[in-house]
Amino acid sequence: MEKLIIFDTTLRDGEQAPGFSMTVEEKVKMALQLEKLGVDVIEAGFAAASEGDFEAVKRVAEEVKNAIVCSLARALQSDIDKAGEALLAAENRRIHTFIATSPIHMQYKLKMTPDEVVERAVAAVKYALKYTDDVEFSAEDAFRSEREFLYRVFEAVIKAGAKTINVPDTVGYAIPEEFGQLIKDIKNNVPNIDKAVISVHCHNDLGLAVANSLAAVKNGARQVHATVNGIGERAGNAAVEEVVMAIKVRHDYFKGIYTTINTKEIYKTSRLLCRITGSFVQPNKAIVGDNAFAHEAGIHQHGILAHRETYEIMRAEDVGVPKSKIVLGKHSGRHAFKTRLQELGYTNLSDAEIDSLFLKFKKLADKKKEVFDEDIEALILEEFSFFENEVKVSYFHVVSGDNVIPSATVKIEKDGEEIISTASGDGPIDSVINAVEKAIGIKGKLLDYTIRSLSSGKDAMGEVRVLVKFDDTDYVASGKGTSTDIIEASLKAYVDAYNKYTARKAFLEKRISEGV
């Protein structure tokens, strides 16, 4: 068995992408989650780039205990000094130094001869050994470099003390077959390659970063640079979650190669990065996208419900997603619809009743992109007329302000009578909900509260959605309300949830009493 080292560069290369900057505290938080994920190396930043980056590398070095903490440094003594200083507190540290080796970079960017580049690379590696015996050397733009020169550079830096040599496809130009061959050629033509780990760093400009990384692994690379969600310069880097799960799922192809990543932390890590950066992953993103384990087509849904492996090559739970999602829409079949009814607790419907509801569901699905659980429940309760005794709000009044205890008065109609109640709370919305609960005589547990604007302007219509538990069962009632007044929208949403709860309860009690 051979271990594939996962070198995570989310905090360095990933952060270089426009819109993905992180504060020092955010980098520390992300680094601690990367440690939970089980990455082997965390490239915390480029210590010489700025005071902020220096501080970030220093803080990550102080906080992370298990993973190797790394800083990038150009092949300059001043950069290496900054990296070494920032990493002093790290229990396991690495300096990652680099210089370009392609003709175009040497001529136009560095304005150096090949001999000068070799000399600078060797000097940088030797100097970095002052701070740590774990030195990684990258030949920037390696894929577009001349092969013989690349072999010469790698041989020289390994002789100087580099333990890892990194082969970047800096501009994402490579095709998998070519990149795999390059790794094979390096293995066969660098005399002392057995004294170093071959690493790769692939960019996604042609959408091939993961494919190139895997081709490299197949041909002898034993470290991969990657980022969470594939973020990074331009089109991004190889996505760590995709590389790791490809190795795990296709262990038959990558025989004897493994990672020590805790895959159940993948989804959590992806979502943390999204929250920190304010970004999102596209719904069809492999492994961590919202649709990665979602199925709408009826044929697929039937297959998944019958046997998961018919349409899924990995379990959602393996990457930390609670479970696969059957999305009900116009492509869904009766089997998936019946299964969802049972999951919602409607286990005693006859085939004729299910057929009738399924026809109504299909008509609704033609009008909506996705049919939610609350839509299905509304169909059931309307079909069997269980909304007759719903609570209605006829009046509400709220008092709130800086130096006032928030309070609310509501007037509701319940079971043919009017009830007026007053209650206080932590704010106007809490107060009005407390007043409603006092009037209906039952307290609910608010599990979720979301608000969004349905239009623009200061008089925009707002929509509130709530999830509430009104008893000790597993049933969660959902409610929705809209208004230009967000307190009124919240009140409507809460009452809507209560009405669904009571209608469902009455329906199930009636079915039991009828012996159905």
**Known binding site for Mn(2+): residues?**
13, 201, 203, 237
- Euclidean distance between the first and final Cα of the chain, in Å? 58
DSSP 8-state code for residue 316: G
Q: How far apart are CA 283 and CA 271, in angstroms?
A: 13
Q: How far apart are CA 76 and CA 286, in angstroms?
A: 39
Burial classification of residue 239, based on how many CB atoms lie within 10 Å of its CB (0-12 exposed, 13-18 middle, 19 or more buried): buried
Strand bridging mode 5-8 / 223-226? parallel
Count of C-beta atoms within a 10 Å radius of residue 275: 11
DSSP character string of 137-193: EEEETGGGS-HHHHHHHHHHHHHHT-SEEEEEETTS---HHHHHHHHHHHHHH-TTG
Burial classification of residue 409, based on how many CB atoms lie within 10 Å of its CB (0-12 exposed, 13-18 middle, 19 or more buried): middle
Q: Annotated binding residues, as ranges? A: 13, 201, 203, 237
Give, for 257, the enclosing helix (H) or strand (E): strand 257-258
The answer to whether 99 touches 117, Cβ cutoff 8 Å, is: yes
The letter for the amino acid at 493 is A
Strand bridging mode 392-401 / 404-414? antiparallel
Q: How far apart are CA 192 and CA 176, in angstroms?
A: 25
Burial classification of residue 131, based on how many CB atoms lie within 10 Å of its CB (0-12 exposed, 13-18 middle, 19 or more buried): buried
Edge-to-edge strand order for the sheet containing 404-414? Answer: 392-401, 404-414, 417-424
The answer to whether 73 touches 57, Cβ cutoff 8 Å, is: no
Give, for 394, the enclosing helix (H) or strand (E): strand 392-401
